[in-house]
Copies of this chain bind each other. A is one copy, B any other.
């Protein structure tokens, strides 16, 4: 192999370059194409070379999450807790919308990384700064669940209908007969007329609807001095 004819030699790899390449690959292709082999090829390197920079694939995914979470805006000072938290969560949502694969990767991590703990810690801090008791803050964080990341656990990412429009129309008619309530909702005023086929919801509206419902509920509990004893 003598002199390694790369033309201009590759710049040496490092953890950061690996992670950023992985994120880029997931963005451009799909998360399933992020295999050690594909990623190595993308970087002009042999698969095993990656293991000098990440311990294994799990840590690669952790690192990718860190890159994403690092893009969330820092807490806004000044505003009241509700506005500040709302704003921050919507910032997280904007980040996740830019990287659609990220929510499922976040879910899949068995343990939080330090960067993730940083984010969660700061959100907890925002509730505390708003005067929430330790206990209420705890419950409230659980109630938020994945919504702190700016995504809802969708019931189903895809619609039950096939992609082909003609087939879809037929399938929809059959579905309407068997599942009238679902059909009713799917064609309700919240969907633009043309988009019955396909998922026609305004996801942003649905997210904010649920987020505000929760935040309002939190506020109500907070104002009435919630204690462990009294449920709501």
A residues apposed to B, CB below 8 Å: 107, 109-112, 114, 117-118, 120-122, 124-125, 128, 134-135, 137-139, 141-143, 145-148, 152-160, 175, 178-182, 184-185, 188-190, 201, 206, 209-210, 212-214, 216-218, 221, 228, 231-232
Q: A134 to chain B: closest CB distance in Å? A: 4
Q: Are B185 and A134 in contact (CB under 8 A)?
A: yes
Decide yes or no: A158 and B110 within 8 Å by CB, A124-B181, A188-B138, A228-B190 being known contacts: yes
Q: Are B232 and A135 in contact (CB under 8 A)?
A: no
Residues of B within 8 A of A182 (CB): 117, 120-121, 124
Residues of B within 8 A of A212 (CB): 231-232
- When chains A and B are docked, how far (Å) is the Cα of A109 from the Cα of B153? 12
Residues of B within 8 A of A146 (CB): 153, 155
Residue of B nearest to A118 (CB): B179
Q: Are B160 and A209 in contact (CB under 8 A)?
A: no
- When chains A and B are docked, how far (Å) is the Cα of A52 from the Cα of B114? 47
Residues of B within 8 A of A112 (CB): 155-156, 160
Q: A82 to chain B: closest CB distance in Å? A: 12
Residues of B within 8 A of A217 (CB): 213-214, 216-217
Q: Are A156 and B216 in contact (CB under 8 A)?
A: no
Decide yes or no: A155 and B145 within 8 Å by CB, A128-B181, A212-B231 being known contacts: yes
Q: Are A206 and B175 in contact (CB under 8 A)?
A: no
- When chains A and B are docked, how far (Å) is the Cα of A188 from the Cα of B135? 6
- When chains A and B are docked, how far (Å) is the Cα of A228 from the Cα of B209? 11
